[in-house]
Amino acid sequence: MSFSQTPYSTSLKRSSQEAGLDDEPDDTRASSGGLKSARTAADADIDKETNSGIGLESLPIELLTKIAFYLSTSELLSLRLTSRIIEVKLFNDFARYYFAKKQFMLTAESLQCLVDISLHPKLSTVLEHVIISLDRYVLTRNLTADKFKGQDTDSRRARYETYLKGYYDQFAFLTTGGDRQSLTEAFRNLKNLKTVGLRDYNNNKRSRDGPDAVWRAYGAGTVLRETEVSLLSTPTGIFYPRPAICAGSGTPADFSARAFVTLLAALGESGASPENFEILLRSQDNLLPDHAFHFPPWLKPTVSSALPGLRSLLLTAEFIAGDDGFTRTFASFGDSAISKFLYLVPNLVHLRLNSSGKHHFITSFLIGLADTDVNSPVPLLPRLERLDFGMFALFGHTAGLDPLSRVVARFGRTLKALGLWKLSVQDSQEQQDAMRRNKELRPQRWAKLLANLPRLAPGLERLTVGALTQVSLGREMGISIVSGARTPHGHFVTSRTYRPEDMRDHASFKALLEKELAVPWWRLEGDGYGEDEEDDEDGSDEEIEEAEEEDEEEDTEENGNGDDAS
Tell me whether residue 291 is in a domain. Answer: no
Residues 423, 314: one domain? Answer: yes
Residues 480, 377: one domain? Answer: yes
Q: Which of 227, 258, 284 is the last residue of a domain?
A: 227
Residues 316, 462: one domain? Answer: yes
Tell me whether residue 235 is in a domain. Answer: no
Which helix or strand (DSSP H or E) is residue 463 part of? strand 462-466
Tell me whether residue 255 is in a domain. Answer: no
DSSP helix/strand/coil, 303: helix
Residues 312, 400: one domain? Answer: yes
Q: Domain tally for the chain?
A: 2
Cβ partners under 8 Å of residue 562, min gap 6: 103, 206, 214, 215, 216, 218, 221
Tell me whether residue 330 is in a domain. Answer: yes
Tell me whether residue 248 is in a domain. Answer: no
Residues 222, 307: one domain? Answer: no
Residues 218, 315: one domain? Answer: no
Q: Which residue range forms the structural domain that includes residue 530?
A: 300-556
Which helix or strand (DSSP H or E) is residue 168 part of? helix 153-175
In the prediction, which pLDDT does 194 show? Answer: 98
332 and 372 Cβ atoms separated by less than 8 Å: no
Tell me whether residue 278 is in a domain. Answer: no
Tell me whether residue 261 is in a domain. Answer: no
Residues 185, 319: one domain? Answer: no
Residues 327, 220: one domain? Answer: no
Q: Which of 212, 227, 242 is the last residue of a domain?
A: 227
In the prediction, which pLDDT does 543 show? Answer: 52
In the prediction, which pLDDT does 399 show? Answer: 57
Q: Which of 227, 243, 278 is the last residue of a domain?
A: 227
DSSP helix/strand/coil, 418: strand
In the prediction, which pLDDT does 398 show? Answer: 60
Tell me whether residue 408 is in a domain. Answer: yes
Residues 215, 348: one domain? Answer: no
In the prediction, which pLDDT does 249 show? Answer: 76
Residues 309, 169: one domain? Answer: no
159 and 228 Cβ atoms separated by less than 8 Å: yes
Residues 169, 60: one domain? Answer: yes
Q: Which residues of the chain have pLDDT under 50?
A: 1-44, 46-47, 49-52, 235-237, 240-241, 321-327, 527-540, 548-562, 564-566
Cβ partners under 8 Å of residue 129, min gap 6: 100, 101, 102, 194, 195, 196, 197, 559
What DSSP assignment string belongs to 194-253?
A: -EEEEESS-B---GGG-TT--B--TTHHHHHHHHS--TTS-S-GGGPSSPPEETTSSSHH
Residues 328, 438: one domain? Answer: yes
